[in-house]
A and B are shown apart, each in its own frame.
Chain A
Amino acid sequence: MKRILPIGLVVVAALNIVWTVAAQSKPADIKIDNFTFGPQELKVAAGATVTWANRDDIPHTVVSTDKAFKSKVLDTDEQYSFTFTAPGTYTYFCSIHPKMTGKVVVVQ
């Protein structure tokens, strides 16, 4: 019993690290094309970094509706990344073409 407990703790700790790293390294990409964010709704774990890449032939921006994040203007093939540390629902839009909207849902 005494020997199993420390080993058990080590295993749990190791699994915890692996789980966290796995969640963070899952690709969290949003492609901007044809005046659309794709996917329009993306779910990620807290700590994940989301990268928006503009593949459209016109510039766009990524601006959160509650000032959580704001990209500079992205011309074709430019990218913007943001790391979501806190869980929550983050709605955002393109400030040049405000009809373009999207959502990132961040879970624990």
Chain B
Amino acid sequence: MKHIFSKQNRVLLGELVRTDFKLRYQGSVLGYAWSLLHPLLLFVILYAVFVKFLKLGTGVAHYPVYLLLGIVLWNFFNEMTTQSLTSIVGRGDLIRKIRIPRWIIVLSSSISALINLLLNLVVVGIFMGINHVDLYRTLLLLPLILLEVYIFALGASLFLSAAFVKFRDISYIWEVLMQAGFYLTPVIYPLSKITNLTLQKLILINPMGQALQDARYTSVTHDTTTIYHVFQGGWYQFIPFTIVALVLVAGVTYFRSQSKYFAENI
């Protein structure tokens, strides 16, 4: 593992990401514009349903931006894990015929997702401007929260991609889990709608719940319920970070133990 970021590996990583990105909108008329248009259109639908018809966001300042930020972060996690899950098997032709570090494949698919996230955040920024969201100094903490989500997703991705080589139904299981996670995480509803404190605590122990709420707190409105509030600053508030660290360690360990046998198992 000495040469993790050797020149060769960096070149390869760059080339794989470039290829991914080039191929993503291959043959579509609008091309790269879809990376912005896609989240925007999804957002319009959710906005119409949850803000206009169900009026979920009453009482939350800048709810449209609050909603959009949540969707963007959740989509990033979803996209990165789902794409990485099939990345090793999908690149089976390479793995069986050439010696490249296996983790580069997962990393390249994660970076593609990361690029998408950054583009989406541009859309969020535009909406913040339109909605006249006050810029807090805490906005500077947002990159740290994004890093947390990325590390969480990376750990999960490494684990899932390695497991998928042996167990192909992981993809269906993960799809269902992600669907459940979407509702267990306060993506579309404000956490303040849930009045039961224990339930709030449980939701915020989930790293995605904690990260989403923290991201909203730092950049949309300080009126957001965060893990700091529900545990009133106690040690419990570090549970999500511990989970993230454990997932990363488990993911890396499992991936390393399995990657030797990818070529023969795919």
Is B one of A's binding partners? no
